[in-house]
Amino acid sequence: MQFYQESTPKKIKEFLDLVENHKVDIRHYKSPVLVWAIQDGTVYYSFWESDTLDRFGLDNVDGWDYEEDLLFCPDWVADNEEEDDDDLDDDDDLDLNLCDLNLKPPVK
């Protein structure tokens, strides 16, 4: 599982507002960092102190404190996911070539 981090206070507040996790009190952190990973539509996350995360590195994170469905998280959380999400909707437009249609006017 690959973890990502976000330290922007505005984004952290947005995340907490959307997931409605009342167990987390961000005031207990001097410089909070949101650390999360996504697997099978579930976001696994925890909060770290910036100094601690800098000391140990994001690569050494191997656990989480909370879980939330990806649907309840901000869009920017899923944007960091590195899975190739091919837009199949775009491919549908390629299959329908409007120039090849021979539309005849209605016969009166």
Rounded CA gap, 25 and 84, in Å? 34
Per-residue model confidence as pLDDT tens digits over 16-63: 989 988 888 888 889 999 999 998 989 999 999 999 899 988 888 888
User: Can you spell out the DSSP letters for 26-58?
Assistant: GGG-SSEEEEEEEETTEEEEEEEEHHHHHHH-G
Task: Give this prediction's pTM.
Answer: 0.68
Domain coordinates of the chain in residue numbers? 4-84
pLDDT digits (tens, 9 = 90+) for 87-98: 545 555 555 555
Backbone angles phi, psi at 18, to 5 degrees: -75, -40
CA angle in degrees (0–180, nearest 5) for 75-83-21? 35
